[in-house]
Amino acid sequence: AYVRGNAKYLYRTWDQQTRPTFQSLKGMPPVNWMGLEVIGTQAGGVDDAEGEVEFIARYMEQGQLRVMREVSRFRRDKGLWVYVAENTGV
Largest CA distance in the chain: 43
pTM of the model: 0.84
Instruction: Calculate mean pLDDT across residues 17-36.
Output: 90
Structural domains counted in the chain: 1
- Give per-residue pLDDT as tens, 27-53: 888 788 999 999 999 999 999 999 999
Is residue 62 in a domain? yes
Q: What is the pLDDT of residue 67?
A: 96
* Residues spanned by the domain of 71: 7-86
CA distance 83 to 51: 10
Is the pLDDT assigned to residue 59 strictly greater than 90?
A: yes
Q: What is the pLDDT of residue 74?
A: 98
What does the DSSP assignment read for 33-77?
A: EEEEEEEEEEE-STT-SEEEEEEEEEEEETTEEEEEEEEEEEEEE
Is residue 16 in a domain? yes
Is residue 48 in a domain? yes
**End-to-end alpha carbon distance in the chain:** 25
Q: Which residues contact 38 (CB under 8 A, 6 or more apart)?
A: 53, 54, 55
Q: What CATH number does the domain containing 25 carry?
A: 3.10.450.50
Is residue 2 in a domain? no
Q: What is the pLDDT of residue 87?
A: 87
